[in-house]
Copies of this chain bind each other. A is one copy, B any other.
Amino acid sequence: MVNAVHTRRAAKSLRLNAVFAALADQTRRAIIETLSRGEARVTEVAEPFAMSLNAVSKHIKVLEEIGLVRRRVVGRDHYLTVAAQPLHEVEEWITRTRKYWNTRLDAMEALLREQEAMDGDADAK
């Protein structure tokens, strides 16, 4: 049971490695941005980039392999969509990490308010 949880966590951690690595490239992030506006053809996705269709296709394949992008084939047309789940996992990690900062910031603010109140008392005397 503990092992199953451990294995699931390890798998999630490796998947998160792959998603972060895939997003460490401005072309791949731009592809995700384009697709987040809606489904698009491979040729439409490739259009704004100053690189060959083949080069863009390679980036798309990386995104497909880690499940960030899905492909739907209709005859000769290839349509791409973005898959929210892997991005959601990245966001979840950031949110979880940030929760601690907020707690720390709240504690610091409380301390500052206390200090100010004490300073105010001292002034009043």
Binding site for B on A (CB under 8 A): 13-14, 16-18, 20-21, 23-26, 29, 32-33, 36-38, 82, 84, 87, 90-91, 93-94, 96-98, 100-101, 104
- Out of B21, B33, B91, B101, which one reaches A20, CB within 8 Å? B21
Q: 7 A-B contacts, Cβ less than 8 Å apart? A: A17-B25, A20-B20, A20-B21, A21-B21, A33-B100, A84-B98, A90-B90
User: Is A94 a contact of B97 with CB atoms below 8 Å?
Assistant: no
- Out of B13, B26, B37, which one reaches A16, CB within 8 Å? B26
User: Is A91 a contact of B91 with CB atoms below 8 Å?
Assistant: yes
Say how far A83's CB is from chain B's closest CB, in angstroms: 10
Say how far A97's CB is from chain B's closest CB, in angstroms: 5
Question: Which residues of B lie under 8 Å from residue A21 when comparing CB positions?
Answer: 20-21, 24
